[in-house]
Amino acid sequence: MRILERKQIVVVGGAGGLGSAVTELLEAEGVEVIVGYRTRAPQGGGVCADLRRAEDRDRLLDSAPELYGLVVMAGHPARVGNATELEAAMRCSWESNYLGPVLLARDAAARMRSRGAEGAIVLISSMQAVAVFENSTAYAGAKAALINAARILAKECRGDANIRVNVVAPGVIDAGMAQASIAAGKYVLYFQQGNIPRYGAAADVARAVRFFLEPDNYVTGQVLTVDGGLTL
């Protein structure tokens, strides 16, 4: 069923890592995908935008006058090598993992509302936002705040023309930012303990995003953790 065919969906960070899997899945269904990027330009073009800048957020949304969906894959790993780096990492994470995505989501919802149109917004958080992992303050704090902001927006939009806001929280996915942690052996213990059968694939996350984008979906304000059961 090509129920998303011809719909305009903006995928921020859709040129690499997890985002490219989302883009490919949607394009295969006939979606008009507008890829937003900051450093990695996609083949075929896209819209260069830094979500921390209001003018860039406006330009990105202006590229989709019939906007139906927004997927925000963009983020920053905010890795901290030692205690002296924590404050700078937290500030960077706050802007990249919370402030920019949340402001863009709210701008998108306002445009959908003004048109009286159905819409779907999907934000990407992390398993580190729904479970406690040591040494993750800079990254997990902002991603946890993102979830709460998404639920607030979902509640604000629930009386409108079926505008839904949901969150996907990936676990250890062998794509994008997590690849560095996988290569370093950070999650080998979970294999040894039998907690997960494999690392996740980008397609696992893409399918979860696709679910939340379905028209007339009866789900909003929810978080879907795609981690193979790791956080259990």
218 is catalytic: no
Torsional sign, CA 116, 117, 120, 123: negative
Cα distance between residue 149 and residue 11, in whole Å: 19
**One of 68, 98, 139, 199 is an active-site residue; which one?**
139
Q: Output the six-digit token pair for 146.
A: 């993102």
- Please return the burial class of 90, using the count of CB atoms within 10 Å of its CB with bins 0-12, 13-18 and 19+: middle
Active site residues: 139
